[in-house]
Chain A
Amino acid sequence: MSPRPALSLSVDRHTPVLVQGITGRAGQRHACMMRDAGTAIVAGVSARAASGPVDGIPVFADCASAVAATGAVASVLLVGAMQVLPAVTEALVAGIRLLVTPTEGVPVHDAVEIRRRVDAEGATWIGASTPGMAIPGEAKLGFLPDVSLAPGPVAMASKSGTLSYEAGFRLVQAGLGQSAWIGVGGDLVKGTRFADLAPWLARHGRTEAVLLVGEIGGNEEEEFAQAITASRLDKPVVALIAGRTAPDGVSMGHAGALTWGSFGTWEAKQAALAAAGVQVCATIDEAVHALARALGKTPA
């Protein structure tokens, strides 16, 4: 395995962000919601650029002119599943360094090609099939619900969108909140895997503890367990793994959530994580309590 380029996840309220597909239904709505959450949405890209700005956000016909005019370095791509590969390619050529692709249903062979292009450019790709990422209080790239977001000490890394909403919501209710929230997404082949985050989490100053929200299928949780040691991530890590009682051989919603014999099972993941010192919790509430204890706080 060749080493992957270092991640560039340290976005803040000054990071200029563009939205590809801004004139679509989701694009219009979420460009505004991201801006309301503090994100510096500086431009949109759409083939329908001639129809004018979206709620005051200038719209360009292509990424190159948007980047030239605004200096955008990150992009949220709200385009259809079949448009993700060409849209990512366009963004990379224009010099975008951080790409967030929430779209569900990207064919896995397309994802392999996107990975090849992103790695060749040394860029960072979050997705696909993700609600995005956020540094609460600074910027949100995607559509993580605001009720689940608050600045705090816990970094969340999640495959599942909705399960992370629920876990984030209870963290906020318990008075904890997040230092960073990265939805790596539920697809089999993706831009950023749990293990890719470990070195960044180890260095990230605001992060005091980590909540890993995994699920059955694949081997990302096992890889993350190895990466904890390799990257000297010595902060407390608590994990939730969905799908403990899921049937074998049936893909449970996420393309990546498929167990096969002993591969990808809850038990295999639990064992690997526990051996790396991670506390694997059976319920969401148990995970929140474990984090509160690890941080020396009593849940509100």
Chain B
Amino acid sequence: MFLFEHDAKALLEPFGVRIPAGCWVDAAGLVDGVLPAGPLIVKAQVAGGGRGKAGGVRRAADAARAMDIARALQASPLGGLVVAGCRVEQALDGAREVYLSITLDASNAQVQVLASDQGGVDIECANAAALVREPAPLDATSIAEAVRRAAGRLSPGNREAVMAAGECLAAAFVALDAQLIEINPLFVLPGTDDAAPRWVAADAKLITDDNALYRQPAMSALVERAADRYPEAARKWQHGCDYVVVDPAGEIALLTTGAGLSMMLIDELRAQDLRPYNFLDVRTGGLRGDPQRLVDVLGWMREGTQVRVLLVNIFAGITHLGEFSRLLLQALDAVPALRVPVVARLAGPGFDEAVAVLGARGVKVETDLGHAIASVRMELARASAAPGGAT
């Protein structure tokens, strides 16, 4: 899961990572934390890159001005991304900007340390030769060693700061089940008289592993507390399934299992100019005789104001379709407000039983996905022809 900068900094701070004083400001102007004294930087919290270029980082002379900017930034999406909030933090001037990251190299199942004397907004465009790489096995001692090797190839003035920061980040990487920690820029402050290097993580990007939430109490607490900030992770943590609204104005709600087939179905529907509402990997194999997860999912689909039809597509490997069909009917009964026709396409063990169970309630079961999509098209046409249908 991708953590917003503000939360990433809070999770990294206990490992000795130095961060500028700052707080979270929401769309209503409510402050979580303590607003530092000016001058300040207001930073839009978005789940993606290119924030600086898109105008999501602004300077403010004082707190009042910072609050105005924070509200303005949250009024509209930034570069197509929802602004979840703003981090308002102390501005630091006159620092050198260095790049340091620790990332999981999935190909080789090891860690990669990257460092550069030239940090800043666009490391991807920076001179590749200026980027130093060092591999390491996945343990804190080895990662810290790799950071030291990398630091040794940077300019002498940056070495000590990078090594000191790297020591903290290496420990955090292992302890937090991280996939990526990127500090860009890492501020190195000149003009110190004492021996201790002065460095501050001006920005922080942290991607962690959803599968490790059970052993990450600070992160699971965050997901529960800030479920609105992390809707996908919160749903997975609380309900055991993956659900993403891909088009708020979508007309076709999808009750599907399996990530790949669900994604492909969305691609194929869109290629035919149909509008799916959501992505779902409901994990039918994990229902274990309880319709609750299906009830939850159907409840979420009610939020889709343009939803006109429910397409169920289950290609079962483990799931028994007869059992699934009974759970589906129970769930539909439990969510009467979702009054849309159901098109079901099923394949796998227990198919005949599923046809009988669903057929008794007037739901026709298709065996071919193409035929099911044709039925969806028909239901959409019927809905738009009916009074009160889609406009």
Q: Of the candidates B50, B138, B283, which one forms a contact with A113 in the assembled complex, judged by CB atoms under 8 Å apart?
A: B138
A12 in contact (CB, < 8 A): no
A178 in contact (CB, < 8 A): no
Q: 1/0 contact trace for A157-192 toward B, CB 8 Å?
A: 011111111100100000000000000001011000
Nearest Cβ distance between residue A214 and chain B, in whole angstroms?
A: 9
Q: How far is the CA of A1 from the CA of B112 in the complex (A)?
A: 12
Nearest Cβ distance between residue B146 and chain A, in whole angstroms?
A: 15
A165/B263 in contact, CB under 8 A? no
A242/B232 in contact, CB under 8 A? no
A143/B244 in contact, CB under 8 A? no
B347/A165 in contact, CB under 8 A? yes
A243/B267 in contact, CB under 8 A? yes
> A261's closest neighbor in chain B, by CB?
B49
A59 in contact (CB, < 8 A): no
The number of chain B residues touching the other chain, given as a range, is 35 or more
B385 in contact (CB, < 8 A): no
Nearest Cβ distance between residue B89 and chain A, in whole angstroms?
A: 23
Segment with Cβ contacts to A, from B31-39, B91-99, B254-262: B254-262
A188/B48 in contact, CB under 8 A? no
Segment with Cβ contacts to A, from B17-25, B154-162, B163-171, B208-216: B208-216
Nearest Cβ distance between residue A126 and chain B, in whole angstroms?
A: 15
The number of chain A residues touching the other chain, given as a range, is 35 or more
Knowing A109-B138, A143-B317, the reply to whether A246 touches B263 (Cβ < 8 A) is yes
Q: Which of B194-253 contact A (CB under 8 A)?
A: 209-212, 214-215, 232, 242, 244, 246
Knowing A81-B211, A242-B264, A246-B279, the reply to whether A160 touches B258 (Cβ < 8 A) is yes
A138 in contact (CB, < 8 A): no
B109/A250 in contact, CB under 8 A? no
Which chain B residues border A243 with CB–CB below 8 Å?
263-264, 267
Nearest Cβ distance between residue A209 and chain B, in whole angstroms?
A: 20
A288 in contact (CB, < 8 A): no
Q: Of the candidates A105, A242, A249, which one forms a contact with B260 in the assembled complex, judged by CB atoms under 8 Å apart?
A: A242
Q: Hey, which bits of chain B sit against chain A, CB under 8 A?
A: 1-2, 47-50, 81, 104, 106-110, 124, 137-138, 174, 177, 179, 209-212, 214-215, 232, 242, 244, 246, 257-264, 266-268, 270-271, 279, 281, 283, 315-318, 347-349, 369-370
